[in-house]
Each structure stands twice: as C-alpha cells, then as structure tokens.
Chains A and B, each alone.
Chain A
C-alpha cells in the first residue's frame, strides 16, 4: 500500500510517499520504522481515511493512509 508522508517525516524519508506491506496499523508502524531510520524517536500519528487512529485496526490496502508529524497550524 502507498503511505502519504508529511512534514518532518517526509523529510526524514526523503519522499512524500512510501510503499509498504501491512495488514494492520500495528504492522504498518513496524514497516515504517524499518523503512525510515530514527522514526521511533519522533512523535507521529497514523491517519486512516483522514481520521487519526489510536488503536490497532486491520487494513485492507484500499484505505488512504498517512503518517503525520506534530501539527503546527496557526
């Protein structure tokens, strides 16, 4: 699945999207940590279909997935 990256996390990855294989949010977090060095040192949220998810949940691959660093609006 394709994962959208933003802000500091896109900068760390050197890309604004990455492809990973994951069938759950938990797996997604692990796959991203493998792909992006030092990711676990930073605060981030996962959005599934434009809503932040706090718990593990299954992913089918058809969702819009995004990794969000801390917000800075205003």
Chain B
C-alpha cells in the first residue's frame, strides 16, 4: 500500500456514505501484500435511534459536518501513535462520511492490517475510540422535516486510558 507508515496528513473524509463496494475494493488491494496475515475492520452504521419524548419518531438521517483542519491534524497524531504502539501493523485506513447519511448506511470505517491478528484487532479498537473522543465531527440527527437533534458521543464505554483532552503528546 502506498500509505504504509507514512504519516503525512491524509484526508479521511468522504462526501456521502461509505460504499460497501469501496470496502471490498480496499480489501482486495491488499492481496499483493503477502506479509499481511490479518485484517480487522470496524464499520459504523447510522442507527435509526428512537428519540426520547417523540414517540414513534426515529432518526432518519444524520448530517455530518467537521472542523476539517483540526480533525485531520488530530487524525495524523492518532495514526502516528497507533503505529508507535503496534509497530507490526502494516497499514491503517480511516474514512468518515460528511453530508447526509441515511439510517442503515455506513458512515465510518477503520481498517488495519498486520502479520498477525492481535495487533490489527487492538489497533482498530483503540483508533475507533480515539476518533470518537477527539475528532471534531458533528452530527445533526434528522427526525423529520421539522425536527432534529444533535448527536453527542457517549464516551463511557470507550475503555480505560482514553484521554478526554487534546494535550500535546
């Protein structure tokens, strides 16, 4: 892969949903890397959450926006830390949607590859939690034409050791 252990700023954002066909192509591209023995992929899907106080109403779509420059800076340092923690990892691909994503569509992908499964598994779980906690991405949950609410990540299940702040390493 062209991005192996390069830590330049990469754009993780895609307009619209993450296409399952894109994910399949991304997996297929690793066939030339015969040092890889394990892929681990996390996919986030927009959930039609019930809305408190609005019986029978559910989230129809999420409109994602981001503070792009900060998000990409944070992602670059998360990527660097991930490669430092799991040096066996051969590559790490991250994509997050912007714009309108319908319930049932994919909005987030974290894909790590390594010679053995442990590095890939651990890295993906850690990177997903870091992204949810630290990247300035905002989600407007559309209930119907007249109603919306703002999504806020619940970080309580993010696991131990996750930093809530943004302090320099």
Contact = CB atoms under 8 A, between A and B. Distances in A.
Interface in B32-85: 44, 62, 64-67, 69-71, 73-74
B108 interface: yes
Contacts of A68: 67, 136
Chain B contact residues (Cβ within 8 angstroms of A): what range?
20 to 34
A69 B136 CA distance: 8
**Overall SS of chain B's interface:** mixed
B12 to A, nearest CB: 10
B138 A7 contact: yes
A7 B108 contact: no
Contacts of A73: 64, 66, 71, 96, 108, 131-132, 135, 137, 139, 153
A51 B166 CA distance: 6
A71 B167 CA distance: 17
A7 B131 contact: no
A71 B108 CA distance: 14
B65 A74 contact: no
Contacts of A6: 65-67, 136, 138
B125 interface: no
B22 interface: no
Interface of A: 4, 6-8, 11, 43, 47, 50-52, 54, 64, 66, 68-74
17 contacts: A4-B67, A6-B66, A7-B65, A11-B150, A43-B152, A50-B69, A50-B73, A51-B70, A66-B67, A66-B70, A70-B150, A70-B153, A71-B135, A73-B66, A73-B139, A73-B153, A74-B153
